[in-house]
Chains A and B, each alone.
Chain A
Amino acid sequence: GEKVEQHESTLSVREGDSAVINCTYTDTASSYFPWYKQEAGKSLHFVIDIRSNVDRKQSQRLIVLLDKKAKRFSLHITATQPEDSAIYFCAATNSAGNKLTFGIGTRVLVRP
C-alpha cells in the first residue's frame, strides 16, 4: 500500500523566514495531496491541497509544490508568524483514491 514519508520531524525557524516541509510517497497513481495543521491539544485543520494535474499551488503564505517524477511534494510556509507554530501533516491518496495515508508529522516552531 501507499507509504508517505515526512522527512523533517522538527523545524525551527526565525519569525519572518520560510519553513519547508518535504514529503515523499510511493504510489505512482496517487493524485491528491492535502496538508493539515494541528495546534497543541487540538484537532487537525485542513490548510491546503494540490492535485496531480498541477505542480504548484499557493494560498496566501502557503505554497505547495508537487514533483510527480520524484514522487515528492512540499509545503512552503513563507513569512512565518508565531501562529504558524504547530504540527503539520502531509497526506496522499492511494491508487483507488478512497483512502488517505498520512506522514508522521513535522513540528514547526517559529522563534521570535
Chain B
Amino acid sequence: EAAVTQSPRNKVAVTGGKVTLSCNQTNNHNNMYWYRQDTGHGLRLIHYSYGAGSTEKGDIPDGYKASRPSQENFSLILELATPSQTSVYFCASGGRGREDTQYFGPGTRLLVL
C-alpha cells in the first residue's frame, strides 16, 4: 500500500500566525490532495495537484495556499491562521488516472487559538 506521511502530527498555532503542513509520499504518485475533516461535513477538498509545480483549487480553498515543489512533497500553507481553521487535515496521494485509488496519510490535528 502507498506510503503517505504528514508532519507535524499535532500543531497548536496562534490566530494570525503562519502554519505549514507537510506531506510526503514515496510511491511516485502524480496526484496529491489536501482535505480537512470536520464533524458533520465529512472530508472536504482544499487543494490538489497533478504533479510537481501544479496546484489546483478544491472546494474550500479560501484561506489556504498549496505548494508542490516535487513529485514527493505537497504542502498546505495557512498564511494567517484563524480559529475556524481548527480541524484535522489529511493528505492523500493517487495515481495518474481519473479513478485511481487515493491513499491517505495519518492526519495532522491543528488547533488555532
Q: Which residues of A contact B (CB under 8 A)?
A: 1, 6, 31-32, 34, 36, 42-46, 49, 51, 89, 93, 96-105
CA distance A43 to B45 in the complex (A): 15
- Count residues on chain B whose CB falls below 8 Å from chain A CBs: 22
Segment of B18-26, B63-71, B75-83, B99-107 engaged in the interface with chain A: B99-107
Determine whether the beta carbon of B99 is less than 8 Å from that of A46.
no
**Which residues of B are found within 8 Å of A32, using beta-carbon distances?**
98-99
| B59: Cβ under 8 A from any A Cβ | yes
**5 A-B Cβ contacts within 8 A?**
A31-B98, A34-B101, A51-B99, A93-B98, A103-B42
Q: Which residues of B contact A (CB under 8 A)?
A: 35, 40-45, 48, 56, 58-59, 90, 92, 98-99, 101-107
CA distance A103 to B37 in the complex (A): 11
Task: Tell me the minimal C-beta distance from B14 to chain A in angstroms.
Answer: 26
Please count the residue pairs between chain A and chain B whose beta carbons lie under 8 angstroms apart in the complex.
53
Task: Tell me the minimal C-beta distance from A7 to chain B in angstroms.
Answer: 13
CA distance A101 to B58 in the complex (A): 10
Task: Tell me the minimal C-beta distance from A22 to chain B in angstroms.
Answer: 15
Inter-chain pairs besides A46-B102, A99-B59, 13 sampled, C-beta below 8 Å: A1-B59, A32-B99, A43-B104, A44-B43, A44-B90, A44-B104, A46-B101, A49-B99, A51-B99, A89-B42, A97-B99, A99-B58, A105-B42
The 4 closest A-B pairs by CB, nearest first: A97-B98, A32-B99, A104-B42, A102-B43
**Which residues of A are found within 8 Å of B48, using beta-carbon distances?**
98-99
CA distance A42 to B37 in the complex (A): 12
CA distance A97 to B31 in the complex (A): 12
Task: Tell me the minimal C-beta distance from A12 to chain B in angstroms.
Answer: 19
**Which residues of A are found within 8 Å of B101, using beta-carbon distances?**
34, 46, 49
Determine whether the beta carbon of A43 is less than 8 Å from that of B107.
yes
**Which residues of B are found within 8 Å of A36, using beta-carbon distances?**
104
Task: Tell me the minimal C-beta distance from B35 to chain A in angstroms.
Answer: 8
